[in-house]
């Protein structure tokens, strides 16, 4: 979803990592991870095999995989873990991969970019690069949306089994000098996953409506995401919620959405245009769907 619908998430992350001296190498020939909410639900064996193929691309490079999407993280982390520990499943997967000259070796690790920034770089180091901080705040109230696959199932994830009230994403994002605001049911699913947005869009949008109402009640200025599917659901989904739940909500929602590296980029002093915060005027039907300009003007960012 990132390369094909939200390229500014790709470019913003590239820019932030470059400023932190972390090299990101492109994997060549990767396919859909495959998306856990749909393809894993259709056939687990296929999901393991296609996921393993993607992992072998990184194994050939001898590098860990860095992911910007919770869904991809859910898939590849779990495929990697399963095949590293289950000899029989690994044997079966490698029988399929052998037909295309590949082999899963279990030689690399799968990481989410939030994990890399939080554990490998550290909040303090990132704070040093930020123009803002506690003494020079950027007065935006942030509504963080962790998403689901970033933290669950917690057993094999690097967050000390914490999935009920984690704070690592808040700590990371607050280097921007903004405050992460608590809101009702903060860890509620956005509704997009599990194939729900695909097959029952209105059901998924009702989850989103509930989240937006809670965020609005808490006075949130900007929603922060770590996953493009959550991002799509909260951004384009917000427009859709305003339309189909028009009679159910008190008024249209107007809370713009930022992927967290877009916010970090702003904190590092990059321009809003290059971070994808302003919609390109030449194309239609492209994100951001809820405009960010008013929020940026509010904090004095030149647009």
Partner 1 sequence: MENIKTSRITKINDDLSDLLRDAGYLEASSCIQCGTCSGGCPSGRRTAFKTRTLMKKVQLGLTEEVLSDKELWFCSTCYKCLERCPRGVPVTDVIIYLRNLAVQRGYIQGPHHALCKMFYKTGHGVPINEEKWSKLREHYKLKGIPPTTHKFPEANKEVQSLLKSTRFDELTKVGDYDLKDEEGGE
Q: DSSP characters for 253-283?
A: ----EEEHHHHHHHHTT--TTTTT-S--TT-
Stretch that binds partner 1, among 42-50, 125-133, 238-246, 247-255 (CB under 8 A): 42-50
Which of 122, 153, 219, 269 lies at the binding interface for partner 1 (CB under 8 A)? 153
Contact flag: residue 97 with partner 1 (CB under 8 A): yes
Distance CA 215, CA 220 (A): 6
Q: Could you tell me the smallest distance in angstroms from the CB atom of residue 253 to partner 1?
A: 18
Helix (H) or strand (E) holding 141: strand 141-144
Q: Could you tell me the smallest distance in angstroms from the CB atom of residue 213 to partner 1?
A: 13
Distance CA 160, CA 154 (A): 8
Q: Could you tell me the smallest distance in angstroms from the CB atom of residue 188 to partner 1?
A: 6
Q: Could you tell me the smallest distance in angstroms from the CB atom of residue 134 to partner 1?
A: 31
Q: Is 124 exposed, middle or buried (0-12, 13-18, 19+ CB in 10 A)?
A: exposed
Contact flag: residue 271 with partner 1 (CB under 8 A): no
Angle at 286 between CA 285 and CA 292, to 5 degrees: 120
Contact flag: residue 45 with partner 1 (CB under 8 A): yes
Taking a C-beta distance cutoff of 8 angstroms, is the pair 79, 39 a contact?
A: no
Stretch that binds partner 1, among 20-28, 58-66, 110-118, 171-179 (CB under 8 A): 20-28
**Based on CB atoms, which residue is closest to partner 1, 15 or 180?**
15
Q: Which two tokens stand for residue 165?
A: 């009230």
Contact flag: residue 36 with partner 1 (CB under 8 A): yes
How many other C-beta atoms can be found within 10 angstroms of the C-beta atom of residue 28? Answer: 8
Contact flag: residue 112 with partner 1 (CB under 8 A): no
**Residues numbered 156-215 forming contacts with partner 1, rule: CB under 8 A:** 163-164, 188-189, 191-196, 198-200, 203-204, 206-207, 210
Distance CA 26, CA 153 (A): 28
Q: Where on the phi/psi map is residue 69: left (φ > 0), alpha (ψ -120 to 50), or beta?
A: beta
Stretch that binds partner 1, among 31-39, 125-133, 248-256, 264-272 (CB under 8 A): 31-39
Stretch that binds partner 1, among 34-42, 106-114, 214-222, 256-264 (CB under 8 A): 34-42
How many other C-beta atoms can be found within 10 angstroms of the C-beta atom of residue 16? Answer: 24
Contact flag: residue 42 with partner 1 (CB under 8 A): yes
Cα 249 to the chain's mean position, in Å? Answer: 27
Which of 34, 143, 177, 288 lies at the binding interface for partner 1 (CB under 8 A)? 34
Distance CA 10, CA 2 (A): 6
List residues near partner 1 by CB under 8 A: 1, 3-5, 7-8, 10-11, 26-32, 34-46, 49-50, 53, 96-97, 99-100, 102, 148-149, 152-154, 163-164, 188-189, 191-196, 198-200, 203-204, 206-207, 210, 232, 274, 276, 280, 282-286
């Amino acid at each position: 979803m990132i390369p094909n619908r939200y390229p500014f998430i790709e470019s913003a992350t590239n820019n932030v990592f470059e400023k932190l001296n972390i090299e990101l190498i492109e994997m060549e020939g990767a396919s859909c991870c495959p998306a856990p909410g749909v393809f894993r639900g259709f056939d687990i064996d296929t999901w393991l095999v296609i996921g393993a193929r993607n992992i072998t691309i990184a194994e050939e490079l001898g590098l860990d995989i860095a992911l910007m999407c919770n869904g991809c993280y859910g898939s590849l982390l779990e495929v990697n873990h399963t095949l590293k520990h289950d000899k029989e499943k690994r044997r079966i997967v490698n029988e399929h991969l052998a037909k295309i000259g590949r082999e899963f070796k279990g030689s690399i690790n799968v990481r989410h970019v939030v994990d890399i920034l939080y554990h490998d770089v550290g909040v303090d180091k990132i704070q040093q690069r930020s123009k803002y901080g506690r003494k020079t705040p950027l007065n935006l109230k942030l509504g963080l949306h962790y998403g689901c696959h970033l933290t669950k199932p917690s057993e094999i994830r690097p967050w000390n089994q914490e999935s009920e009230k984690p704070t690592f994403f808040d700590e990371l994002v607050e280097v921007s000098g903004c405050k992460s605001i608590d809101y009702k049911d903060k860890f509620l699913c956005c509704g997009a996953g599990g194939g729900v947005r695909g097959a029952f869009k209105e059901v998924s949008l009702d989850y989103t409506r509930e989240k937006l109402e809670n965020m609005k009640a808490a006075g949130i200025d900007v929603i922060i995401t770590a996953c493009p599917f959550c991002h799509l659901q909260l951004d384009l989904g917000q427009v859709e919620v305003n339309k189909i739940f028009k009679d159910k909500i008190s008024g249209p929602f107007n809370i713009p959405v930022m992927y967290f590296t877009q916010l970090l980029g702003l904190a590092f002093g990059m321009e809003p245009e290059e971070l994808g915060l302003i919609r390109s005027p030449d194309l239609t039907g492209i994100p951001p769907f809820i405009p960010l300009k008013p929020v940026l003007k509010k904090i004095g960012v030149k647009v």
